[in-house]
Amino acid sequence: MTDHTEEIEEIQEEGGILKSYPTKLLFATLLIVSLIYLSGIRDYFFYQRTPTSVNIEFPDALFEAEEIVVPVTVFVLKGEPFHSKRNREEVEHILENGFRIFEQANISFEIVDNSSIYIENDSFLYDHRSFLSEVKSYDSSRINIFLVGNLRGINGIAFPGLSSLAVADYVTSHDYRVLAHEIGHLLGLGHSSDPHSVMYQGSYGVRLSTEKALRARERAKEYEI
Ligand SMILES: [Zn+2]
């Protein structure tokens, strides 16, 4: 009698929800995924820093036209939660190469101010206007570039109405390509369906169509010094 009861209990336990193999596997997977997400390990697998050794072939100018010079201010953001770990060489690399992508449209950029700023304020993404009010050298008549640590999983973001953009340290494309993409948005460009285009969402493309180049020039003229 006793043996019989034990057998029934055993069967019941085995039939319990956490005893089934697929459920265990699901729980284990969920646990691992959340640990990876929380620990930031995710950044190292899916998002990468762009090495300064990386080189790309830049497309030639699409047409002959007068050079338009757009003033920019560069801020390397320090202080949590958007602290950037970029060193000087990495900052120069992203700027130089990001700007070169616009040589196709005969648009160049002049760095008026390039500095590290220390701001501890988490409103960067959800209330960018209020964040900018803390930035003394912010100037809406220029393109304001923020180099930041992590943008909660996005490579970069543009705030066209505020003439401001940001690029994360860890990205899924080349960081300078992300920079050029966001500059493109500030210069009035929408997304492209051509994967070779710098305005394609989620590729390594660096090209501009003639149409997009001309449109960018129109907007760039409004910034010109
Ligand atoms: Zn975009």
Amino acid 32: pLDDT: 78
CATH code: domain of residue 87: 3.40.390.10
CA–centroid distance, residue 143 to ligand 1 (Å):
16
Is the domain of 79 the same as that of 172?
yes
Q: Which domain holds residue 108?
A: 68-223
CA–centroid distance, residue 7 to ligand 1 (Å):
62
CA–centroid distance, residue 211 to ligand 1 (Å):
17
208 domain-assigned: yes
Per-residue pLDDT of the chain (225 residues; tens, 9 = 90+): 444 545 444 444 444 556 678 888 888 888 877 776 665 555 556 788 888 888 777 888 999 999 999 999 999 999 989 999 999 999 999 999 999 999 999 999 999 999 999 998 889 999 999 999 999 999 999 999 999 998 988 999 999 999 999 999 999 999 999 999 999 999 999 999 999 999 999 889 999 999 999 999 999 999 987
Amino acid 19: pLDDT: 64
Q: Is 0.85 surpassed by the pTM of this model?
A: no
Is the domain of 183 the same as that of 74?
yes
CA–centroid distance, residue 15 to ligand 1 (Å):
50
CA–centroid distance, residue 41 to ligand 1 (Å):
25
44 domain-assigned: no
Amino acid 41: pLDDT: 55
Is the domain of 19 the same as that of 92?
no
How many independent structural domains does the chain possess? 2
Is the domain of 25 the same as that of 73?
no
CA–centroid distance, residue 45 to ligand 1 (Å):
23
SS (H, E, C) the chain: CHHHHHHHHHHHHHHCHHHCHHHHHHHHHHHHHHHHHHHCHHHHHHCECCCCCCCCCCCCCCCCCCCEEEEEEEEEEECCCCCCCCCHHHHHHHHHHHHHHHHHHCEEEEEEEEEEEECCCHHHCCCHHHHHCCCCCCCCCCEEEEEECCCCCCCEEEEHHHCEEEEECCECCCHHHHHHHHHHHHCCCCCECCCCECCECCCCCCECCHHHHHHHHHHHHHHCC
Amino acid 223: pLDDT: 95
CA–centroid distance, residue 117 to ligand 1 (Å):
25
CA–centroid distance, residue 199 to ligand 1 (Å):
6
47 domain-assigned: no
Amino acid 203: pLDDT: 87
211 domain-assigned: yes
Is the domain of 126 the same as that of 187?
yes
Q: Which residues, in sequence order, are CB contacts of 183 under 8 Å at separation 6+?
A: 98, 102, 143, 145, 158, 165
25 domain-assigned: yes
Amino acid 216: pLDDT: 98
187 domain-assigned: yes
Is the domain of 28 the same as that of 83?
no
CA–centroid distance, residue 96 to ligand 1 (Å):
20
Amino acid 55: pLDDT: 74
50 domain-assigned: no
Is the domain of 31 the same as that of 101?
no
Is the domain of 82 the same as that of 23?
no
Is the domain of 30 the same as that of 97?
no
CA–centroid distance, residue 10 to ligand 1 (Å):
57
Amino acid 16: pLDDT: 53
CA–centroid distance, residue 134 to ligand 1 (Å):
26
Is the domain of 18 the same as that of 126?
no
Spatial contact of 141 and 71, defined as CB atoms under 8 Å apart: yes
Is the domain of 208 the same as that of 132?
yes
CA–centroid distance, residue 190 to ligand 1 (Å):
7
